[in-house]
Amino acid sequence: MSNSATISQPIPVADYSATLQNIRRLIYLYLFLLIIEGALRKWIVPQFSNPLLLVRDPVVLAIYFLAWRARVFPRNTFISSLALIGVLSWIVSIFVLDPYVPMSRILLVTGYGFRSNFLHLPLIFIFARVFDADDVRKVGWWILLGMIPMSLLMALQFHSAPDSFINRTVGLGEGEQITAGGGKIRPPGTFSFISGPIHYVTGAVAFVLYGALRRASYGSWLLLGAGCSVLLAIVVSGSRSLVVSVLLVMLSLAIVLLVRPDALNRFGKSLVLVVVALLIVTRLPIVHEGLNILSSRFTESAEAAETTITGGLIQRTLRGFTEGLGHLGHAPIFGFGLGVGTSGGAAFLMGQSTFLLSENEWTRIIFESGPILGLAFLLWRAALTAYLGFVSLRALTRTEILPLLLFSAGFLIILNGQLGQPTSLGFAVVLNGLCLASTRPGKIAPVPMTPPPPRLIRGRSAFADRLHGADASHRNGSVDR
């Protein structure tokens, strides 16, 4: 046989399937801790309330380590620009605070600010590297199942006295939850505050609507139970923000039916479940009480703003953006320091949790990092929101409706949600990560490894190296002999 005969050698392939499976398990752990974090801080170990604010951080770092090891850590413009903005903001903040605060406290405050603004956000892209649409549907199944006990707990909290054990706040203090009027609180469920149920219920609505349009995804019993639970949670929440968030998801449903009118027939078959859910929920006495309180909140807010209920909702939404931009000229060029505007950063700085700058997210970012770096971070968040919207609409043209429903549930948290609040930060990652992952139909292929270069021996000729090199067996046909 000719010396030129060759035998092709397969490229060595790294088997990272076990590592990827561990990343998926850690993501489930991240979601589980997000849901029970408030319960731990309120009822189980309230003495560790402050450290539990960071309970998901080690999980995130472990995910990043494994993702880097498995070569699925995202390397794109979003990640590199976020890293640049984050590092510059941290360095500048240290110099800004140095004349006024001891260095040990500066590192705590700015480190917490870096964690709140930047540390968790790359996890959104890792979702899409290790999850596909089937994985997202499985997560949705658990969210819908958890919606049932969550709504029952919220109803019990709504019915109970504001000072009862089930309505206690985090830590060992004697504070009470935010009131909704009529002697009722805004029930937080297993979360620390009402912001948790707002995001959880909104995500559940997205999966309920998806199940109604894709009946094969979830069983009828689960859709009926979750649908009733969603309605009950909305009614007893006393939260206008939850109503607005759910309306945004319903708006995305209208877009789905407009672009994919064939889905209308499948959705029509689910109307029976909707009617049954309404009949069940509206017969509960607690529902009438909740509706009265919720409608009173809308009416009082509209009267205070001297506008209609719809106009008040629009003003409330737009104010989140206009207020922050209006302070661009008032903030120091390098800001007051990363983390100063968060309640956790204030606890390190002042010894108590409070909002030193503003509760408005865009205002906080502008005052913390200044008009240059602060505005750069806000533009980054706006660009990510636009990208998620684009890929969701593109998936819709391929008959994939789940991405747009999840996008409508989570885009506002990325755009102007309070990332300094751990629960909001967690849902910003989870909902938008699931949105991006649901646009990816396939699993990750094993990562090919680059074959090692042949070892060269000093003084050996090129011809001898061909004959005796590390891969000579398939270069000179010796295997055939």
> HSE of 419 in the Cβ direction (CA atoms, 13 Å)?
27
Residues 331 and 367 sit within 8 Å (Cβ to Cβ): yes
Selection from 4, 23, 10 nearest residue 444 by Cα = 23
Distance between CA 99 and CA 90 in Å, rounded? 16
pTM score of the predicted model = 0.85
- pLDDT at position 447: 41
- pLDDT at position 461: 52
What is the tens place of the pLDDT at every residue in 171-200? 876 667 787 777 889 999 999 999 999 999
- For the chain, list residues with pLDDT below 70: 1-15, 173-175, 263-271, 302-313, 316, 442-481
| Token pair of 106 as six digits | 């500066």
Distance between CA 416 and CA 322 in Å, rounded? 11
- pLDDT at position 380: 97
| Token pair of 52 as six digits | 């539990």
End-to-end CA gap in the chain? 8
In sign, the C-alpha dihedral spanning 380, 382, 388, 393 is negative
- pLDDT at position 477: 40
- pLDDT at position 174: 66
What is the tens place of the pLDDT at every residue in 313-357? 677 677 777 777 887 888 899 999 999 988 888 888 877 777 778
- pLDDT at position 473: 40
- pLDDT at position 313: 64
Distance between CA 98 and CA 115 in Å, rounded? 20
